[in-house]
């Protein structure tokens, strides 16, 4: 059966929640939960590839996460660099393009250098796209778009009354990436937490109580099955056949 007939989403975005609770549940330090979460990232990226999902966006580090203890932030950034080193060969083998969205200027210099290196090394791939939301916030992204448009108005390139939704979309961090069809959130929470606020307008939402490190193939398939049952009308009334 083709991916189209199975209603496979083109773009899945994931709020990876529950690493800390997983570690607490197992009597481990929080960083061990994040390490387990990285293993799940690699597993889910492969599952997306195998099921024909072209784009996957992972909420890896939010603007609010900078408020966490410095030791945890350092540990997370170390894990990120390790993930890039270990995963890059798979990206080349599977022709996966790495992309980063967020306030990346706030990232530590060595982390930013490694991200840019892998982005450059994979920029010509188009089979699959792995988008990491790092130092990311949906409100900050909208502020960024507003600033870009305000600068264009100040330069006389456009008038305020000419700004429309397409202009805002065109000035987001990754304007060429389609809006997510499906947003998955693990650990049972029921909120977007400042993630892809503009792009999520008509995304299907799927929440599971499973903690992110425990999210496996069966859970992934359950999310796809739930998505396949949704009817996406985008505000239109369902057509009735006589």
* Residues 69-82: tens digit of each pLDDT: 999 999 999 999 99
Interhelix angle 30-50/217-228, rounded to 10 degrees, is 50
Q: What is the pLDDT of residue 2?
A: 37
Percentage of the chain surpassing pLDDT 70? 95
Domain at 11-137+179-228, CATH class? alpha beta
Find the DSSP H helices in 26-137.
30-50, 70-94, 109-122
Name the residue with higher pLDDT: 240 or 66: 66
- Which among 50, 65, 164, 214 is annotated as catalytic? 65
* Residues listed for the chain: 242
Of 85, 119, 78, 86, whose CA–CA distance to 102 is shortest?
119
Q: What is the pLDDT of residue 242?
A: 46
Q: What is the pLDDT of residue 156?
A: 96
Calculate the alpha carbon distances from 141 to 62, 117, 220 in Å. 12, 23, 28
Is the predicted pLDDT of residue 120 greater than 60, yes or no? Answer: yes
- The ranges assigned to domains in the chain are 11-137+179-228
Q: Give the mean pLDDT of 161-174.
A: 97
Is the predicted pLDDT of residue 239 greater than 90, yes or no? Answer: no
Is the predicted pLDDT of residue 5 greater than 50, yes or no? Answer: no
Instruction: State the chain's mean pLDDT as an integer.
Output: 94
Residue 183 and residue 80: Cα distance in Å, rounded?
22
* Residues 18-50: tens digit of each pLDDT: 999 999 999 999 999 999 999 999 999 999 999
Residue 65 known to be catalytic = yes
Residue 60 and residue 45: Cα distance in Å, rounded?
13
Name the band, by pLDDT with cuts 50, 70 and 90, for residue 232.
Answer: confident
As given in the structure block, the two tokens for residue 72 are 């945890």
Of 217, 224, 229, 222, whose CA–CA distance to 9 is shortest?
224
Residue 78 and residue 101: Cα distance in Å, rounded?
19
DSSP code of 108?
-
Percentage of the chain surpassing pLDDT 90? 92
- Which among 17, 19, 128, 181 is annotated as catalytic? 17
Asked whether 137 and 64 are in contact (CB, 8 A), the reply is yes
Residue 25 and residue 70: Cα distance in Å, rounded?
23
Q: What is the pLDDT of residue 240?
A: 52
Q: What is the pLDDT of residue 1?
A: 35
Residue 168 and residue 158: Cα distance in Å, rounded?
13
DSSP code of 64?
G
Q: What is the pLDDT of residue 6?
A: 65
Asked whether 122 and 96 are in contact (CB, 8 A), the reply is yes
Name the band, by pLDDT with cuts 50, 70 and 90, for residue 233.
Answer: confident
């Amino acid at each position: 059966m083709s991916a189209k007939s199975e209603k496979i989403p083109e773009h899945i975005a994931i709020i990876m929640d529950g690493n800390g609770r997983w570690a607490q549940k197992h009597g481990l330090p929080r960083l061990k939960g994040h390490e387990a979460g990285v293993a799940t990232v690699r597993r889910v990226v492969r599952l997306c590839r195998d099921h024909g999902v072209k784009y996957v966006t992972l909420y890896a580090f939010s603007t609010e996460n900078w408020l966490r203890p410095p030791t945890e932030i350092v540990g997370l950034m170390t894990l990120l660099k390790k993930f890039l080193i270990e995963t890059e060969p798979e990206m080349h083998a599977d022709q996966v393009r790495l992309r980063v969205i967020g306030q990346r200027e706030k990232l530590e210099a060595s982390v930013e250098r490694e991200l840019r290196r892998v982005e450059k090394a994979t920029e010509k791939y188009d089979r699959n796209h792995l988008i990491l939301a790092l130092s990311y916030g949906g409100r900050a992204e909208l502020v960024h778009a507003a600033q870009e448009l305000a600068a264009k108005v100040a330069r006389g390139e456009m008038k305020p009354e000419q700004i429309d939704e397409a202009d805002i979309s065109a000035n987001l961090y990754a304007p060429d990436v389609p809006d997510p069809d499906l947003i998955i959130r693990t650990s049972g929470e029921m909120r977007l937490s400042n993630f892809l606020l503009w792009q999520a307008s008509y995304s299907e939402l799927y929440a599971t109580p499973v903690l992110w490190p425990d999210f496996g193939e069966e859970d992934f398939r359950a999310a796809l099955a739930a998505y396949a049952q949704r009817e996406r009308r985008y505000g239109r009334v369902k057509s009735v056949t006589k």
